[in-house]
Structure 1
Amino acid sequence: MSSVVSYEDVVRTLDDLPSLPAVVMELLNSIDQEDVDIAVLAKKVSHDQALTAKTLRLANSSLYGLQVKVTTIQQAITFLGFQTTRNLITAAALTGCFAESHCPGFHHQAFWRHSIATAACAKVLARQMRFNQDYAFTAGLLHDIGRLVLVSCFPQQYGQALAYRKAHDCYMLEAERSVLGVDHVDAGLALAEHWNFSDTMRLAIAGHHDPETPGAGFLAAIIHIANAVVHALDLVEDEDDLVPPISSVAWNALGLNEEAYLHLFRETELQYEEISMVLLG
């Protein structure tokens, strides 16, 4: 059986994927809208008890440093704002959405740990850059979502790609292209289209390995650097991990000094531990 997968194959299989709760789809689709009826959305979310519990645990984590304990989605919105609460709901839903797949060599927990660490790092970077922290957090969480698409829809072929990476000691993108013919960026974009992600998110997913592409946008540069920092800190403790090459254009665009990076490393490690406990605990 040929292991080559076309972009069309990926698009065709998206309907077989688990779908996000309807309220989360609504939240993702309203990311660029101002006139959202927050009370209605809060009410809809609270009907999903598991999602509500996870979201509130995240809202009460030290990531947000609230002085009060929030016990309802409406309270979370009051104290954290709508954007942030929406992001927490999305994070809580996404990490519970994909079942563990039977793909040889793929570690579901390690995947989410890397995504959560990248989200935490991107949020800290965005704060330093005075960029929208909520966009950065969500984009960090979603940057590799295409890997989950490939793992869920083509587990055997993706297992071969993982074996290829090990044998050739190369980057995952290279292994995916060699074995499958498509990579996780392609698959991530197909899912972003399917789930109606905003253009901001699509650009970040598209450009996180190649932020120098014209029109990639500043968020792609933030995610690119956050991804590299997380690999370098080895938070996921993957013995085969390779630090991806860093774009000097992205590095210079962020223009941070050594002190800022040391702060970034420390903050990322602290927040990663706590968010992992809440989302994967």
Structure 2
Amino acid sequence: MNQDDHDFDNALKDLPTPPAVVTELLTSIDRADADVAVLAKKVATDQALTAKTLRLANSSLYSPAAPVNTIQQAITFLGFQTTRNLIIAAAMTTCFTARRCAGFDDKLFWRHGIAVAACARVLARHLRVNQDLAFTAGLLHDIGRLVLVTLHPQRYAEVIAWRSTHDGTVLDAERAVLGVDHVLAGAALARQWHFPDAIRQALAAHHTPDSPGAGALAALIHVADAVAHALDLAGEQNEVVPPLSLDAWNALGLDQGEWLQVFRETELQFEEIATILTA
């Protein structure tokens, strides 16, 4: 399967496409003239998407003083950027349907993504950086695995089998069996679906946060990924914490007390978000 970027991008045409409103949100992410009323009407046409977004808006994650009953109210209460990211998160968890791939569990996949998203959001709040961007990047950090599973379900089963018999990471297994890994697959999807630059960069470098130009968000997601694995929030069998960059860990500048608080907050937020997004 050793393909160049052009071949990979062509292969992505076989993937499911996100709801039209999500494509519009992603492509207009930097526009200041977004029409809130038009967005609300478009989201309202997708009942499942609306329901998940409103359940998130009413969760303890945001703790509104009064119930949020419409997308318009969500935008008013949460702001356009936060609502946009909640809509993207809600849509992405339903965009890829279950695939026949032995050993791959879609629900566990999303539970891990949600765990990383929850931790990333908590870290972002402690560091006073954009919490919604961190949440979305955390949720989507391993989206390349779904790309590979969707395009090659039988061969990805071989990836899972390889890892169970070798002492290696998921990346090692993917490269050994497929000749490509989920980082490259995720980067290709991010290009095709017009993810914002910060998220594309985080997806591309979340396993290599010390590489030149990786960026602060990639380092944050890298650490959140390690924390989510260490806390075993997804409930995976034979959980393994991936290699951790001490430079990325130290760059966050949190002391022991702050880290304990991060762990507690992540665990508290995870189950509620997981219940909503994987329902």
- What is residue 6 of structure 1 aligned with on the other side? 3
- What is residue 237 of structure 1 aligned with on the other side? 235
Counterpart mapping for 1:195-210 below 5 A: 195-210=193-208
Q: Does 33-42 or 125-134 show the bigger shift?
A: 33-42
Counterpart mapping for 1:3-42 below 5 A: 4-8=1-5, 9-42=7-40
- What is residue 211 of structure 1 aligned with on the other side? 209
Structure 2 CA distance for aligned equivalents of residues 141 and 69 of structure 1? 25
Letter of the structure 1 residue corresponding to residue 3 of structure 2: S
Structure 1 CA distance for aligned equivalents of residues 265 and 82 of structure 2? 18
Deviation string, structure 1 residues 115-134 (Cα, Å, up to 9, x no partner): 01100110010111111111
Deviation string, structure 1 residues 144-193 (Cα, Å, up to 9, x no partner): 00000000001111110110011003110110011100000000000001
Q: Does 106-115 or 240-249 show the bigger shift?
A: 240-249
Residue 31 of structure 1 deviates from its aligned partner by: 2.1
Structure 1 CA distance for aligned equivalents of residues 30 and 225 of structure 2? 25
Q: 1:115 aligns with which of 113, 128, 148?
A: 113
Give the percent of matched residue pairs that are identical in Structure 1 and Structure 2: 63
Residue 249 of structure 1 deviates from its aligned partner by: 1.5
TM-score by length of 2: 0.97
Q: 2:159 aligns with which of 158, 161, 165?
A: 161
Structure 2 CA distance for aligned equivalents of residues 259 and 30 of structure 1? 40
Residue 242 of structure 1 deviates from its aligned partner by: 1.1
Counterpart mapping for 1:73-222 below 5 A: 73-222=71-220
Structure 1 residue runs of 4 or more that deviate by more than 6 Å after TM superposition? none
Residue 35 of structure 1 deviates from its aligned partner by: 2.0
**8 A contact 1:7–1:186 mirrored in 2:** no
- What is residue 264 of structure 1 aligned with on the other side? 262
Structure 2 CA distance for aligned equivalents of residues 107 and 7 of structure 1? 28
**8 A contact 1:25–1:195 mirrored in 2:** yes
Structure 1 CA distance for aligned equivalents of residues 237 and 255 of structure 2? 29
Structure 2 CA distance for aligned equivalents of residues 7 and 242 of structure 1? 31
**8 A contact 1:166–1:240 mirrored in 2:** no
**8 A contact 1:122–1:223 mirrored in 2:** yes
Residue 12 of structure 1 deviates from its aligned partner by: 2.2
**8 A contact 1:139–1:205 mirrored in 2:** yes
**8 A contact 1:204–1:223 mirrored in 2:** yes
Count of residue pairs the alignment pairs up? 278
TM-score by length of 1: 0.97
Residue 5 of structure 1 deviates from its aligned partner by: 4.1
Structure 1 CA distance for aligned equivalents of residues 78 and 265 of structure 2? 19
Deviation string, structure 1 residues 83-104 (Cα, Å, up to 9, x no partner): 1111110111000110000011
Letter of the structure 2 residue corresponding to residue 174 of structure 1: D
Structure 2 CA distance for aligned equivalents of residues 243 and 88 of structure 1? 28
- What is residue 58 of structure 1 aligned with on the other side? 56
Deviation string, structure 1 residues 191-219 (Cα, Å, up to 9, x no partner): 00110111111100011000011111100
Q: Does 231-240 or 148-157 show the bigger shift?
A: 231-240
Deviation string, structure 1 residues 16-37 (Cα, Å, up to 9, x no partner): 1111111111111222222211
Provide the aligned C-alpha RMSD in A: 1.0
Structure 1 CA distance for aligned equivalents of residues 102 and 158 of structure 2? 8
